[in-house]
C-alpha cells in the first residue's frame, strides 16, 4: 500500500527542531455531509492524520464529531469532498482490509456470549482458525486486565469491565486505526481515568493510530497528541491544537500549569 507522507513535529516539546516523516493514514479534503432531511452536518472539513497520532475531537453536541468518525469507519459517505483511509476508501479499509476498528460509547457486547467469545467474534467472522482465535483473544484480554474473567457473561461485569472487553474485541483484529466514540462517557471518574491510562499504554504498545471523540476537555488534553476543535453545526474544524507534552503521561500531569494552560486554550476555542 502506497501512502503519501507528511512532516510531523517531534512529540518531545524540548526537541521541536527535529522532524520525521510519517505516512498519512486519514485524509479529508473539503468534506461535506448533508443528510436526506436537508440538515448540513459537516461543511468543508479538512484534516490529515499521520501514523501513530492520537487525535481527539471536541465540540458542542450535534457538531458532527461522531459523523466524521463514522465516515472514516466506512459507516457513511461524504456528500462531497475527498476521504481516504489507509490509501483506499474508508469502506474497503474496514471491510476488506480489516485495518479499522470501532469502539462505541456502549460496549455492544452479545449478552449470551462469554467475555472470551465476545472478543473472538471478529476473528470468527474472518475465518481465523479457532486455535489462533483463542490465542489472540487471550493476548488482548491480558492486555486489558481481564484474563481471569474469560468465562464471565456481560451481565456479571461492571461498566468499566464491559468497556475493556469492547476494547479487547477491537484490538483482536490487529487494526492500524482505532476509532473511539466517547467510550468512557458513562463511567465514573476514577474508572475513566484508569482506562485513559490503560488506553495510552495500549496505544503505544500496539503502535496504533487513535481517533477519539469526547466532550471532556481534560480527557482530550491528557490523551492526545493533537486536538481537533469543531464548530457548531454545520461542523468544521475550527482549529487544531497541539499537546506538546511527552509520553508516558503520569497522573501528576493533570495538576501542572502546562496541562491547565492547554485545557484553557481548548475551552477558549470552543466558545469562539
The pLDDT value recorded for residue 109 is 95
Number of domains in the chain: 2
Identify the CATH number of the domain in which residue 63 sits.
Answer: 3.40.50.300
Q: What is the pLDDT of residues 89-115, one digit of tens each?
A: 998 888 877 889 999 988 899 999 999
Q: How far apart are CA 182 and CA 214, in angstroms?
A: 5
Residue 169 within any structural domain of the chain: yes
Choose the final residue of a domain: 119, 149, 174: 174
Alpha helices in the chain (DSSP H): 65-72, 90-95, 115-119, 121-125, 130-143, 159-172, 189-206, 217-223, 257-270
Q: Is the pLDDT of residue 127 over 70?
A: yes
Tell me, yes or no, if the pTM score tops 0.85.
yes
Peptide bond into 234 cis (omega under 30): yes
Q: How far apart are CA 85 and CA 71, in angstroms?
A: 10
Do 182 and 59 lie in a common domain?
Answer: yes
Q: Is the pLDDT of residue 152 over 80?
A: yes
Do 211 and 266 lie in a common domain?
Answer: yes
Choose the final residue of a domain: 157, 174, 191: 174
Residue 125 within any structural domain of the chain: yes
Do 46 and 71 lie in a common domain?
Answer: yes
Domain region containing 181: 23-99+175-272
The label of the residue with cell 432531511 reads 37
Amino acid at each position: 500500500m502506497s501512502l503519501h507522507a507528511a512532516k510531523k513535529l517531534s512529540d518531545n516539546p524540548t526537541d521541536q527542531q527535529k522532524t520525521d516523516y510519517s505516512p498519512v493514514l486519514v485524509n479529508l479534503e473539503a468534506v461535506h455531509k448533508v443528510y436526506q432531511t436537508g440538515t448540513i452536518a459537516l461543511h468543508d472539513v479538512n484534516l490529515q492524520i499521520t501514523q501513530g497520532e492520537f487525535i481527539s475531537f471536541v465540540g458542542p453536541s450535534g457538531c458532527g464529531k461522531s459523523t466524521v468518525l463514522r465516515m472514516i469507519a466506512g459507516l457513511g459517505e461524504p456528500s462531497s469532498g475527498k476521504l481516504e483511509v489507509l490509501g483506499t476508501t474508508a469502506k474497503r479499509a474496514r471491510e476488506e482490509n480489516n485495518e479499522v476498528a470501532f469502539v462505541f460509547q456502549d460496549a455492544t457486547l452479545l449478552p449470551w456470549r462469554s467475555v472470551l467469545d465476545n472478543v473472538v467474534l471478529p476473528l470468527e467472522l474472518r475465518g481465523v482458525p479457532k486455535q489462533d482465535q483463542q490465542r489472540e483473544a487471550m493476548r488482548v484480554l491480558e492486555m486489558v486486565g481481564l484474563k481471569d474473567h474469560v468465562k464471565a457473561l456481560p451481565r456479571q461485569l461492571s461498566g468499566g469491565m464491559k468497556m475493556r472487553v469492547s476494547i479487547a474485541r477491537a484490538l483482536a483484529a490487529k487494526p492500524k486505526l482505532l476509532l473511539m466514540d466517547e467510550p468512557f462517557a458513562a463511567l465514573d471518574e476514577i474508572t475513566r481515568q484508569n482506562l485513559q491510562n490503560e488506553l495510552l499504554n495500549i496505544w503505544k504498545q500496539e503502535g496504533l493510530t487513535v481517533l477519539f471523540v469526547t466532550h471532556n476537555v481534560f480527557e482530550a488534553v491528557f490523551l492526545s497528541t493533537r486536538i481537533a476543535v469543531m464548530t457548531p453545526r454545520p461542523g468544521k474544524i475550527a482549529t487544531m491544537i497541539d499537546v506538546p507534552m511527552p509520553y508516558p503521561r503520569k497522573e501528576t500531569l493533570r495538576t501542572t500549569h502546562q496541562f491547565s494552560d492547554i485545557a484553557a486554550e481548548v475551552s477558549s476555542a470552543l466558545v469562539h
